[in-house]
Amino acid sequence: MGTMSQDSPKQFVNDLEQVRKLVTAIPGPLSIAMQNRRIAAVSSGVGATLPIFVTKAGGGIVLDVDGNSLIDMGSGIAVTSVGNSAKDVVDGLTKQAQNFTHTCFMVTQYEGYVEVCEALNQLTPGDHEKRSALFNTGAEAVENAVKIARAYTKRQAVVVFEHGYHGRTNLTMGMTAKVMPYKYSFGPFAPEIYRVPMSYPARDGLTGIQAAQNAISRMEKEIGSDQIAAIVVEPIQGEGGFIVPAPGFIPALVNYANKSGIVFIADEIQTGFCRTGNWFASEHEGIVPDLITTAKGIAGGLPLSAVTGRAEIMDAVHPGGLGGTYGGNPVACAAALGSIAIMQRENLIARAKQIEAIMKTHLETLAQETGVILDIRGRGAMIAIEIVKAGSTESDPELTSKIAKACHAQGVIVLTAGTYGNVLRFLPPLVISDSLLNEAMQVIAEQFEIALR
Ligand SMILES: *Cc1c(COP(=O)(O)O)cnc(C)c1O
């Protein structure tokens, strides 16, 4: 197994040069013209971080209609971990599309679906017998994990956490913490969802065990352990701002779930598939979830999601109880198999750890120089900084948004996150070159320098 580096051969099918290059302002005239068409045609309820339109993307570069090459520090929200248009993904899905594009697995079956389930059963933590079921989106996977847990336990309550994010469908919107923009004016939400405190080491001053005791006490006193079907938690919170719980927090929850007959569900939709420097972030916690939800990084950009877990739980649902017209689409399955092959062959777990080291080195210097960074956190190629007013713990969403916009104008795609809107998060493709990564971190540092001048 090799590890990607600056000198690795090109692993994507288009011939995009791996350099940042701006030939117009961001957005350029052609993007502006398309933006005007978009405004007339697309619901304004659908947001966009950058007002540009893309024609090509590959490796660590996104090319827009005006010919600007931007460094990709977002991977389309942790999706294109193997890079855009990765060779094995494109080869696999092209071959599959030429054979057939859809049958509906619930009508006539195909091998690709089974192969993806076999891979998931093998790659997820724990060597117990497992089963998987495939869907299209992350939210759909979370909904189905809850359905499965309820069918297995014959209980109804679902426990989620402060700052958690699980999707935008009715059930998952109710499970998501943040009201704006995800929930505002969209109620009523589904019943039997209970939110308990999260471990937030930069702000709560608690050990993992203390934070878990708070959460468990709430479950016991306000819900009743024998009423709870599932505890659903992201081992590192994504949209919530890459909050890594204090050591011991997640294992204590797993322990409590196990002894109370509660299904423990790790939502690894953002953290899965090498992103954090392991196949799954649960491995950093030394835990084995009962069920695990995956999506985003699974299929190199194609829509695919899954629930994987203990055979006796997954098989507790009546036959025909799980499914959907498109779930486990054959083209998406072929893309997933290509994507997993790249992760294994190129050792993207090791590459994620290298990316962590490079980013943290830059960010530690930045924190010392600026005094406005409360916390540098995350694992692997999932790293964030929480931005505050100098010498305090007061969130600074204005500065965060100003820096993000300045980075965009300089051709670096960065994303924000966090309940307080004060987190800048970095999710580069795992195949990004060292030189592009270093350049992106340098541009980010320069924007801080300018903003704080
Ligand atoms: C993105 C995300 C979801 C929702 O996935 P969609 O594909 O957008 O429905 C759920 N959980 C987590 C942790 C996520 O990051």
Per-residue pLDDT of the chain (453 residues; tens, 9 = 90+): 445 554 455 688 998 999 999 999 999 999 999 999 999 999 999 999 999 999 999 999 999 999 999 999 999 999 999 999 999 999 999 999 999 999 999 999 999 999 999 999 999 999 999 999 999 999 999 999 999 999 999 999 999 999 999 999 999 999 999 999 999 999 999 999 999 999 999 999 999 999 999 999 999 999 999 999 999 999 999 999 999 999 999 999 999 999 999 999 999 999 999 999 999 999 999 999 999 999 999 999 999 999 999 999 999 999 999 999 999 999 999 999 999 999 999 999 999 999 999 999 999 999 999 999 999 999 999 999 999 999 999 999 999 999 999 999 999 999 999 999 999 999 999 999 999 999 999 999 999 999 999
Residue 122 Cα, ligand 1 centroid: separation in angstroms? Answer: 22
Residue 293 Cα, ligand 1 centroid: separation in angstroms? Answer: 9
How distant, in Å, are the alpha carbons of 24, 105, 206, 229, 361 from that of 426?
A: 25, 36, 26, 34, 14
Any ligand 1 atom below 6 A from CB of 356: no
The structural domains of the chain, with segments of one domain joined by +, span: 29-85+347-451, 100-345
Residue 392 Cα, ligand 1 centroid: separation in angstroms? Answer: 32
Any ligand 1 atom below 6 A from CB of 340: no
Residue 191 burial class via C-beta count within 10 angstroms: exposed 0-12, middle 13-18, buried 19 and up: exposed
What is the pLDDT, as a whole number, of residue 9? Answer: 53
Specify the residue with its C-alpha closest to ligand 1, atom 15: 270
How distant, in Å, are the alpha carbons of 28, 61, 262, 337 from that of 54?
A: 12, 11, 45, 26
In this structure, what token pair is assigned to residue 222? 């306000």
Sorted by sequence, the CB contacts under 8 Å of residue 19 that are 6+ apart come out as 61, 69, 436
Any ligand 1 atom below 6 A from CB of 269: yes
Asked if the domains at 29-85+347-451 and 100-345 fall in one CATH topology, the answer is no
Residue 242 Cα, ligand 1 centroid: separation in angstroms? Answer: 14
- Report the relative pairing of strands 382-387 and 423-426 from DSSP bridges: antiparallel
User: In angstroms, how far is the first alpha carbon of the chain from the final one?
Assistant: 46
3-state secondary structure of 376: strand
Any ligand 1 atom below 6 A from CB of 234: yes
Prior bond of 27 cis (ω within 30°): yes
Looking at CATH, the fold of the domain delimited by 29-85+347-451 is given as Aspartate Aminotransferase, domain 1 (3.90.1150)
Residue 168 Cα, ligand 1 centroid: separation in angstroms? Answer: 8
pTM of the entire structure?
A: 0.97
How distant, in Å, are the alpha carbons of 8, 32, 54, 321, 438 from that of 57?
A: 18, 20, 8, 39, 19
For residues 319 and 406, give the distance between their C-alpha atoms in angstroms, rounded to a whole number. 53
Sorted by sequence, the CB contacts under 8 Å of residue 241 that are 6+ apart come out as 163, 384, 386, 417, 418, 419, 420, 422, 423, 425
Any ligand 1 atom below 6 A from CB of 144: no
Any ligand 1 atom below 6 A from CB of 271: no
Which of 270, 282, 302 has most ligand 1 atoms within 8 Å of its beta carbon, as the pocket-test mutant? 270
What is the pLDDT, as a whole number, of residue 1? Answer: 43
Residue 382 Cα, ligand 1 centroid: separation in angstroms? Answer: 15
Any ligand 1 atom below 6 A from CB of 412: no
Prior bond of 289 cis (ω within 30°): no
Residue 167 Cα, ligand 1 centroid: separation in angstroms? Answer: 5
CATH code, 100-345: 3.40.640.10
Residue 140 Cα, ligand 1 centroid: separation in angstroms? Answer: 9
